[in-house]
Structure 1
Amino acid sequence: MPKDKQDLTESGLPKLAQPAVRALRNAGITRLEEVAKLTEPELKQLHGIGPTAVEQLRRALADKGLDFSK
């Protein structure tokens, strides 16, 4: 498996910086489908989620035909 940052983990989440990983884990989010249940503003409110993580998650969601909640 390539080691590119855009690779998806088994959970469907892209490989993110550790602060973003901790933010998602602390919010109880372990799968990409759970990210899709959040609005983008809700995601941005999580401490540790910055613009890069939001964009990585947006691309991962789009690759699966998903998007942030509206």
Structure 2
Amino acid sequence: MSNDLPAIGAPAKRALDEAGVRTLDDLRRVGPDALAGLHGVGPKALRLLREALEAPAGD
């Protein structure tokens, strides 16, 4: 399984980077809902992040 985050917009990517979320493991630790309040993280980015966490291994 890849540990890379999905392709999301630049503002969301910057917000995640500033929050210390750089990999799927980081995202699992924090949880996507905790990122919902960050400036730059919108509904589409949250959907993509949740989908990445739910994807079967190997995708």
Scaled by the length of structure 2, the TM-score of the pair is 0.79
Which of 7, 16, 36 is residue 44 of structure 1 equivalent to?
A: 36
When Rg is computed on C-alpha atoms for both structures, the one with the higher figure is 1
> For 1:13 and 1:56, how far apart are their aligned partners in 2?
9
The percent identity for this pair of structures is 38
Answer yes or no: is the 8 Å Cα contact 1:11–1:30 preserved in 2.
Answer: no
Q: Residues 30 and 40 (structure 1 numbering): CA distance in 2 closer, same or farther, change over 3 Å?
A: closer
Any runs of at least 4 consecutive aligned residues in structure 1 with deviations exceeding 6 A, and if so which? none
More helix by share: 2
Q: Report the aligned-residue RMSD.
A: 1.8
Is there any run of 5+ residues in structure 2 with no aligned partner, and where?
none
Scaled by the length of structure 1, the TM-score of the pair is 0.69
Answer yes or no: is the 8 Å Cα contact 2:6–2:52 preserved in 1.
Answer: yes
